[in-house]
Amino acid sequence: MNVAAVIAEYNPFHNGHAYHIAETRRQTGADYILVIMSGDFVQRGEPALLNKYARARMALQNGADLVLELPAAYACASAETFAAGAVATLHRLGVVDTLSYGSEYPNEALFSQLAKLYLQEPAAFSQTLRRRLKEGYTYPQARAAATDEWLLRTGQLACPPGLLSSPNSILAIEYHKALLSLDSGIRPLAIRRRGAYHALSLPSSPAPLPAAPADEESAFASASAIRRLLVGTNSLADEAAAHALLAHVPADVRETLCTTGCFMTVEDFSAALGFALLDTPPERFCEYADLNSDLADRIARFLPRYQGWQSFTDLLKTRQMTRSRISRALLHLLLRIRREQARQWAAQGYAYYARALGFRRTAAPLLTAIKQKSSVLLLTKMADAKRSLDSRFPEAARQEYARQLLETDLRAACLYETMAAVRWDRRPENEYSHGLILVD
């Protein structure tokens, strides 16, 4: 059995994602494509546009065979933790042969070289990194500058301009780091990204309806541009908006987006975050992941001016702290993800379980193989999850960490569904009774 894996957010699913899955299958000859996907909150520290079940269905209808949920504590963490949590899960499933990722710079050798540098952190590299941080660089900027200096000094393969500032390249390096740390047999594979993957607006398409050809560069838009269109209209009943979107997403995804229309943004969670901040004593801010003393002091100082999530993030931003970093910290506080919990999850190897969101019926042999070979628990029914974890981890400490990780997932799903129900005047979906997404 040949299995290729993809780590994704699909926020939302678009032509570039469909191309990536198809190209992964073509290059690897995979029998199955396994996706581990962020749940209701994403790595940027924001809610996903649509809930995890809608996005899982989009993936399954467009080439994925099995979709697993990346635990919320990892999905909304730094690139390092995001990658470590996802790769550890894939490694312990025992069936994955290849990890495929998209990149503007598809060079596995370079990514592996950088991963080794960051794992080893030679003294000269660390000194340069600290100096750049003292000069006021953000951490990503400081690491990029230290890397360039190190590669120049040692005469190694230089980075193309822009590589170290690319979010996808940063994730690619972290994937390689995680694979090296685990001494994993999973092979990394970089697939070249296509189209306007950084643009904030949709590329103009000369193609007539119903859609642009899949091999046209104009058919590939960024998820950011698609989100901007969807949030800007909040309804695809607008014929012009629907037409603009049509060339950039698969037909079934467009149908889902047009009929669902229940898109969520950080502003829909502003009241919940405001309450969480007021309900937390300032001296306890630093208990939460990614919240250091400097950020905690700024939160306490600016809290009387709180009006909403985005505007508060803008208030808190400094030269050293990016908006994404701040938004992740605020989300950790909202979801009650504590620093010590995150440390223990990492120390214990990140992976305790793999929760299935949905699968294609033809992927039944893949599920059977996972159950036979996996060293983590495959969860297919949330109602049985806690009992299954307790039996899997008889040691009290490890059992408690597994429970805490699962409870964070449940808290995230409950919060998302509650806010979506308020925003769109509907009943929230119950996480315990929601069934698997099955696609023929």
Domain ranges of the chain: 109-165, 266-343
Q: Which long-range contacts (CB under 8 A, 24 or more apart) does 293-296 make?
A: 294/320, 294/321, 295/321, 295/326, 295/329
Indicate if the pLDDT at residue 206 is higher than 50: no
Q: Which amino acid is at 426?
A: R
Indicate if the pLDDT at residue 244 is higher than 90: no
- pTM (2 d.p.): 0.92
Tell which wins on pLDDT, 261 or 127. Answer: 127
Indicate if the pLDDT at residue 344 is higher than 90: yes
Give the Cα separation of 17 and 214 in Å (integer): 12
Please, which pLDDT band fits residue 211 given cuts at 50, 70 and 90? Answer: very low
Instruction: For the chain, give percent helix, strand, coil, nearest 5.
Output: 55, 10, 30
Indicate if the pLDDT at residue 390 is higher than 90: no
The most confident of the ranges 61-70, 207-216, 398-407 is 61-70
What are the pLDDT digits (tens) for 32-64? 999 999 999 999 999 999 999 999 999 999 999
Give the Cα separation of 225 and 329 in Å (integer): 25
Locus of tokens 């993030």: 313
Report the greatest alpha carbon distance in the chain: 62
Instruction: Look up residue 275 and give its two tokens.
Output: 């309450």
Residues 6+ apart with CB under 8 A from 265: 46, 47, 49, 231
Tell which wins on pLDDT, 248 or 30. Answer: 30
Q: What's residue 207's pLDDT?
A: 40
Indicate if the pLDDT at residue 337 is higher than 80: yes
Asked if 333 contacts 284 with a C-beta cutoff of 8 angstroms, the reply is: no
Indicate if the pLDDT at residue 214 is higher than 50: no
